[in-house]
Structures are given as C-alpha cells and as structure tokens.
C-alpha cells in the first residue's frame, strides 16, 4: 500500500500525486499514518468547540433552506455538535485514548490470540458519512498480555475519528505493537462505506477489506491460521 504525498506547487495549487482534487473526485486516499491535525487542535475547550460547531451547523441547515424555528429542527445544531465532540469524533482527543495495562503471560499461552468480529462505526473523512464494519485483531504474546476489552477499546478509539480505512487499519496495528511490545500483530478490517453505497456509485453490495500483518504474521501459514479462526463460526 502506498502512502500518497501531498505536494504543493506554486503553479497548480494543491495536487495529490499529480492530480488535482477535482480529478481525484471520489477516489479515496490518505496522506499518512497520523490523522492530520492542526498544532493548536486542543487549545479550544470542548464546550467552546460545541458552541462553534452548533452555530456553524445551524448555518449549513439555514443555507439548505431548513426552517430552524420548527420544533423538530431547532435542537439539531446542538445535538450534532455534542455528537461530534463527545461521541463520533471523540477519538481525535488523545485524552480519550484507552489506558492499557500489561500483564505477565502467566498461562504461558504462546499461540496467536484472535479477537474477531469487533463491530465499529466510523466516518469517512472525505464525505463525513458512516463507515460500518468489523475489525479482527490478533497478536502473539511477547511475554505480556492485555485485557481482551482493551483490544476492542483500541479499535473504537481510532474509529471515532474522521477516517480512511487504510489509516484506521494501520493506526490500530501500530497502537497494538506499542501496547504489546511486539511486532507480531495482525489487523483485518472488513467495512462498508456509506459514501459508496448511499451516494456516488450507489453500490450496495461491495465491501472493502484491508489488512496489516506484522512480524511473525508475515507468513502464509500464519495468515491461513488467522483466516481459519476468523471464518470459523
């Protein structure tokens, strides 16, 4: 998987791999492992963010011609602001990153551990509509283990950002490597992008699968073993 680079040229303005943003259109891409954030992203309090988002979302609704005095609509800007900051984009804030405690591998379990079918909801950073999918994560202990619920929480933390699936996959994998102090981690994500199914090409049946195989997972026998666990009911 190639990491596309954002290149600015004086003559052409922002271009991605030689294409203009208009030419790229709906084709998804991402520019790096880290979610692109401004340096001052956390100088504003959450309350201030909610206030600003509410006012801006109210303007979007107003421009669309919606009557904000209607009882059904007037609470929407505040609700959207609260949902963005406290729920669906809460994973942008490092304060919300799950705290990971490591335990000694007392059982001496030295095979792969697979946590499969972790349901997650994310949002596409190009269209701000949902990505719905399942993540399967696995690791081989380097002598340390973490609580199973933490695997789930790491997935949820990175899902709660504007995302592209490739970055989500790699961010989860890198976090697991750091937390578990091993390269031997695998992440597979199988997801549906509503920007593909509900609009654009309106393909309702396709799904996108991405994977990251680190360390000892980089062998066809380990990958087959992992896929057997995932496909086993």
Please report, as ranges, the residues that interact with Zn ion according to CB under 5 A: 124, 126-127, 195
Return the number of the residue (126 or 222) whose C-beta is nearest Zn ion. 126
Task: Tell me how far, at minimum, the Cβ of 58 lies from Zn ion, in Å.
Answer: 24
Q: Is 28 a catalytic residue?
A: no
Give the DSSP letter of residue 94: G
Q: Catalytic pick from 86, 125, 174, 225?
A: 125
Q: Is 86 a catalytic residue?
A: no
Angle (CA) 25-29-33 rounded to 5° is 155
Q: Is 232 a catalytic residue?
A: no
Q: Catalytic pick from 166, 171, 195, 212?
A: 195
Q: Cα separation of 22 and 11, whole Å?
A: 16
Q: Cα separation of 175 and 193, whole Å?
A: 23
Q: Is 202 a catalytic residue?
A: no
The number of beta carbons lying within 10 Å of the beta carbon of residue 232 is: 8
Q: What is the per-residue DSSP string for 96-132?
A: GSPP--EEE-TT---SEEEEEEEEEEEEETTT--EEE
Task: Tell me how far, at minimum, the Cβ of 193 lies from Zn ion, in Å.
Answer: 6
Task: Tell me how far, at minimum, the Cβ of 35 lies from Zn ion, in Å.
Answer: 15
Q: Is 212 a catalytic residue?
A: no
Q: Catalytic pick from 58, 156, 193, 212?
A: 193
Task: Tell me how far, at minimum, the Cβ of 125 lies from Zn ion, in Å.
Answer: 7
Return the number of the residue (162 or 214) whose C-beta is nearest Zn ion. 162
In the chain, what are the helix, strand and coil shares in percent, each to the nearest 5? 40, 25, 40
Q: Is 136 a catalytic residue?
A: no
- Name the residues annotated as catalytic: 124-127, 165, 193, 195
């Amino acid at each position: 998987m190639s990491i596309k680079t954002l290149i600015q040229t004086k003559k052409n303005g922002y271009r991605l791999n030689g294409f203009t943003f208009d030419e790229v259109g709906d084709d998804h891409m991402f520019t790096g492992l880290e979610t692109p954030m401004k340096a001052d992203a956390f100088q504003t309090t959450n309350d201030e963010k909610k206030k600003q988002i509410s006012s801006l979302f109210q303007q979007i609704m107003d421009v669309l011609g919606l009557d904000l005095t209607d009882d059904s609509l007037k609470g929407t800007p505040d609700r959207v602001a609260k949902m963005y900051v406290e729920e669906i984009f809460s994973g942008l804030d490092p304060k919300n990153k799950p705290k990971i405690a490591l335990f000694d591998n007392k059982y001496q379990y030295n095979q792969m551990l697979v946590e499969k079918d972790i349901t997650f909801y994310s949002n596409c950073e190009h269209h701000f509509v949902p990505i719905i999918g399942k993540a399967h994560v696995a690791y081989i202990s380097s002598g340390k283990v973490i609580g199973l619920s933490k695997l789930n929480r790491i997935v949820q933390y990175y899902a709660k950002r504007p995302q592209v699936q490739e970055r989500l996959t790699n961010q989860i994998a890198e976090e697991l490597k750091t937390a578990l102090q091993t390269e031997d981690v695998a992440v597979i994500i199988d997801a549906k992008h509503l920007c593909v199914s509900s609009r654009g090409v309106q393909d309702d049946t396709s799904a996108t699968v991405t994977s990251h195989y680190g360390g000892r997972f980089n062998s066809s026998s380990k990958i087959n073993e992992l896929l057997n666990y995932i496909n086993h009911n």
